[in-house]
């Protein structure tokens, strides 16, 4: 799965990483741990959608940056990145260089 590959890459570069199989699990991790600077997520996930997950994240943490990685284009929809307070939307497939650059921008 992409999340396992990304976890390995990010950990190799010195990041602390938690992964979740779906939005509900991710929200539970956020509720329990809470101290995250950045969240990477997809729009199309098992269980709740990425849109719903983002709304719930914002209810818990309005300050955390969110980067969406998705094969689905959300630009131009009612639920666009600006209205959902997404730091960046990256269309899959995305290069590791582009992802790392976006993560660095989000964290600085």
Q: What is the pLDDT of residue 2?
A: 79
Report the Cα–Cα distance between both ends of the chain, in Å, rounded: 28
The residues with which 84 forms a beta bridge, in sequence order, are none
Q: How many domains does the chain contain in total?
A: 1
Quick count: other Cβ atoms within 10 Å of Cβ 65?
A: 19
Q: What's the CATH code of the domain at 45? A: 3.40.50.2300
Expressed as residue numbers, the domain containing 49 is: 2-107
Report the alpha-carbon distance of residue 27 to residue 53 in Å, rounded: 7
Q: What is the DSSP string of 38-67?
A: EEEE-SS-SSS-HHHHHHHHHHH-SSSEEE
- Averaged in consecutive runs of 10 residues, what is the pLDDT profile of the chain (108 residues)? 88 95 94 91 88 92 92 61 79 93 96
C-alpha closest to that of 79 among 40, 52, 42, 44: 52
């Amino acid at each position: 799965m992409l999340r396992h590959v990304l976890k390995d890459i990010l950990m190799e570069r010195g990041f602390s990483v938690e992964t979740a199989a779906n939005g509900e699990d991710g929200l539970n991790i956020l509720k329990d741990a809470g101290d995250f600077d950045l969240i990477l997520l997809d729009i199309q996930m098992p269980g709740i959608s990425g849109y719903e997950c983002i709304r719930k994240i914002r209810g818990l943490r309005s300050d955390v940056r969110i980067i969406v990685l998705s094969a689905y284009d959300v630009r131009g929809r009612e639920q666009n990145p600006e209205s959902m307070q997404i730091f960046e939307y990256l269309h899959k497939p995305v290069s590791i260089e582009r992802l790392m650059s976006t993560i660095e921008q989000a964290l600085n």
